[in-house]
Amino acid sequence: MQPFRIEIPQADVEYLHDRLASARWPGELPCVEWARGVPLGYLKDLAGYWRTRYDWRAAEAQLNQHPQFISEIDGQRIHFLHVKSGQPGAKPLLITHGFPSSVAEFLHLIEPLVNPADGQAFHVVAPSLPGYAFSSPLSATGWALGRTALAWAELMRRLGYQRYGVHGGDIGAGVSGMVAGLDGEHVIGVHVVTDPLTAAATATFLPGMAGRLDGSDPVDKLILDRMDAFTKEGSGYLAIQSSRPQTIGYGLADSPLLQLAWIAEKVHEWTDLPVDRDQMLTTVSLYWFTGTGASAAHTLYEQAHSSDWGVPPAVPQGFAVFGADETVRKLVPAPDGAHWTEFSRGRHFPAMEAPAQLATDLQAFFGPLQ
């Protein structure tokens, strides 16, 4: 394992600013707002902020406050944060981001986990998924969830953690569940986050799910409507990345506007609490400076073409549902006795939307586990 610091050359920062200043903008039809993608006025304002007011060096310094390392696992370069707590009884916790995200999603979550005012403390390990940010370049095909989960188990072994918890959302939830299933001897529990729209979107990929729902039942009808809306209107980003990742990759690698719009659209659609604009732009900047929009897309392709979904975890399971409603209990396969917490606000990115609430729920779940 090699210590690592983020040090983006100033020439790369200036090149980004130059590209944003000379961007070519498309026209826009009247009155469509968000119905056909990111509105022109919204993206012009956000791009202008990214170019003239967002401070990459401050974000870089904030990330570099946390110890970072690089290790090669299964032929793949893996970047991770490893932030140890000084509090007695701290438990190792492996946390995994999803798409379109990065370890910057956890910037406001790490401190309350590592140094809580009271309650359970954690040693936090936060890897960048293979092909994302500094876990690049992507070394080979085949980096779906199962291979990533095996790499994470090996990472925790190398760090000397004999017993540890796992947590994640989106892709990170899938990876965490697989780690718990594959390395149950060492995992004390698995905690994941979800929300009604994510649960409904996931249900569209489950064979026979629509046939198991009764359209005359109000809750089932709401689920079916959400599944249909995701299929018709919300899955375009996933369809192209899971079928033609190389093609969309050229645009993501070459155009900062496309990379910005690609992520900003999902943050807008998948949140209902304010997200710090600078924190979001740190994730966008990580994709841009490392040129990993394409390789992140390739990992979505890998999972779409994989039949490996792991084995069900046999360890304690915890679920935090943000923006909860009556549909999620029907869609999330929580075993009897599982830890279950519902929050009325927040959605797909709770580590950015509601980090204090998420930290408290992680403490409540993992605190009693030995």
**348 is annotated as an active-site residue:** yes
Q: CA 258 from chain center: how many Å?
A: 19
Catalytic residue among 79, 82, 167, 348: 348
pLDDT at residue 206, rounded to an integer: 84
The one-digit pLDDT tens for each residue of the chain (370 residues) are 999 999 999 999 999 999 999 999 999 999 999 999 999 999 999 999 999 999 999 999 999 999 999 999 999 999 999 999 999 999 999 999 999 999 999 999 999 999 999 999 999 999 999 999 999 999 999 999 999 999 999 999 999 999 999 999 999 999 999 999 999 999 999 999 999 999 999 999 988 888 899 999 999 999 999 999 999 999 999 999 999 999 999 999 999 999 999 999 999 999 999 999 999 999 999 999 999 999 999 999 999 999 877 788 999 999 999 999 999 999 998 999 999 999 999 999 999 999 999 999 999 999 999 9
DSSP 252-307: HHH-HHHHHHHHHHHHHHT-SS---HHHHHHHHHHHHHHT-HHHHHHHHHHHHT--
**Is residue 170 flagged as an active site residue?**
yes
How far apart (Å, rounded) are the C-alpha atoms in residues 20 and 17? 5
Residues in the chain: 370
CA-based torsion, 289, 293, 295, 300: positive or negative: positive
* Contact (Cβ atoms closer than 8 angstroms) between residue 72 and residue 127: no
Q: What is the pLDDT of residue 144?
A: 96
- 3-class state of residue 340 by DSSP: strand
The Cβ-side half-sphere exposure at 120, using a 13 Å CA radius, reads 19
Is 301 in the active site?
Answer: yes
pLDDT at position 91, please? Answer: 98
Q: Express each pLDDT in 59-71 by its tens digit.
A: 999 999 999 999 9
Alpha-carbon distance values, 69 to 4, 29, 72, 322 (Å): 5, 47, 10, 32
- As a whole number of Å, the CA-based R_g of the chain is 20
Q: Which domains does the chain have, with CATH numbers?
A: 69-195+235-366 (3.40.50.1820)
> Pairing mode, if any, of strands 91-96 and 164-169?
parallel
Residue of 123, 170, 186, 298 with catalytic role? 170
Measure the CA–CA gap between 181 and 174, rounded to whole angstroms. Answer: 11
